[in-house]
Structure 1
Amino acid sequence: MTDFSPESFATIGPKEFAQLVKSTPDSKLAEVMGNENRSKILDEVFNRMPTLFRADRAGATQAVIHWNITGGPGGSTDTYETVIENGACTVTNQPVREPKLAMTMDPVTFLKVVTGDGNPMMMFMTGKIKAKGDLGLAAQVAKLFDIPKN
């Protein structure tokens, strides 16, 4: 499958989505994530987060994480809130809580992070991911989710 669109994404699992992201040129990812399909794709990714959450790895972690995804239509930024507490993960695209960690990245970087196609620590060190708040938590976020291995 080479059609990177919300319609194709809705019918495939995380592993297939990871392969799709890996096989799609960055320029195409950026194009799709800069148009009207962006919110459908982001909603789909974030709606899957609670099902990929690894409570066994979270332990007593209590955190509010804001994901700021830049590069939207007209230069807009979308912010999603992930709340990890009491061994569960919830997500909303209407952030209301003060974040323990806020991460800002472009949409291509975001897709690479959530599909395991990029090294989040290296992306942070090279400035592709900007983090404010608990940097120790930032280093642990990927371990809290069942991210496909490429």
Structure 2
Amino acid sequence: MTDFSPESLASIGPKEFTQLVKSTPDSKIAEVMASDSRTKVLDEVFNRMPTLFRADRAGNTATVIHWILTGGPEGSSDTYETVVENATCTVTSSPVREPKLAMTMDAVTFLKVVSGSGNPMMLFMTGKIKAKGDLNLATSIPKLFDIPKG
């Protein structure tokens, strides 16, 4: 497999991404996600979200989700906003809408969730994911996206 870096993420598909996250030690992912490469990695992942969105499963879902990712350089965090409405999905790194659900987690946990290599319910139960707002929405997020199965 390839090295965990923004450059490698840009050139691989969802299944390869899953394998990359699974095969990279958490310490290495944490190191990259605490570096200047963090924004490039997160932007790459979030920019793919609309392409993995399953409009056929969304029905009349209209919601705003904030993803608060901790563990950045010098203890910083990043917030991304996912909006699902009118059978579309948009993402921004400049949140402007009130979320129905806000989830806080470190970047390693986030990458495990979006790659399908971490169990979101178990991560929530063990306190690695903190959720505020509509918890039913949190359980339905996986059905809205084509998340690769590790």
Q: What one-letter code is carried by the residue in structure 1 that aligns with 2:106?
A: D
Aligned position for 1:118: 118
Look up the SS of the partner of 2:79 in the other structure: strand
CA offsets per residue over residues 76-118 of structure 1, 9 Å max, x none? Answer: 0000000000000000000000000000000110000000001
Between the aligned partners of 1:63 and 1:140, the Cα distance in structure 2 is: 11
Between the aligned partners of 1:74 and 1:47, the Cα distance in structure 2 is: 25
* Structure-to-structure mapping, 1:1-150, within 5 angstroms: 1-150=1-150
Tell me, yes or no, if the aligned pair for 1:2 and 1:24 is still in contact at 8 Å: no
Between the aligned partners of 2:95 and 2:72, the Cα distance in structure 1 is: 17
Tell me, yes or no, if the aligned pair for 2:66 and 2:79 is still in contact at 8 Å: yes
**Which structure 1 residue ranges, 4+ long, deviate > 4 Å from structure 2?**
none
- Report the CA distance between 1:143 and its aligned residue: 1.2
- Report the CA distance between 1:8 and its aligned residue: 0.8
Look up the SS of the partner of 1:139 in the other structure: helix
Tell me, yes or no, if the aligned pair for 2:100 and 2:133 is still in contact at 8 Å: yes
Look up the SS of the partner of 2:82 in the other structure: strand
Between the aligned partners of 1:103 and 1:81, the Cα distance in structure 2 is: 11
Between the aligned partners of 2:9 and 2:33, the Cα distance in structure 1 is: 13
Gaps of 5+ in 1: none
Tell me, yes or no, if the aligned pair for 2:33 and 2:71 is still in contact at 8 Å: yes
Tell me, yes or no, if the aligned pair for 2:2 and 2:8 is still in contact at 8 Å: no
- Report the CA distance between 1:33 and its aligned residue: 0.5
* Greater alpha carbon shift after TM alignment, 1-10 vs 85-94: 1-10
TM-score, length-scaled by structure 2: 0.99
- Report the CA distance between 1:2 and its aligned residue: 3.3
Between the aligned partners of 2:58 and 2:105, the Cα distance in structure 1 is: 24
Between the aligned partners of 1:68 and 1:45, the Cα distance in structure 2 is: 14
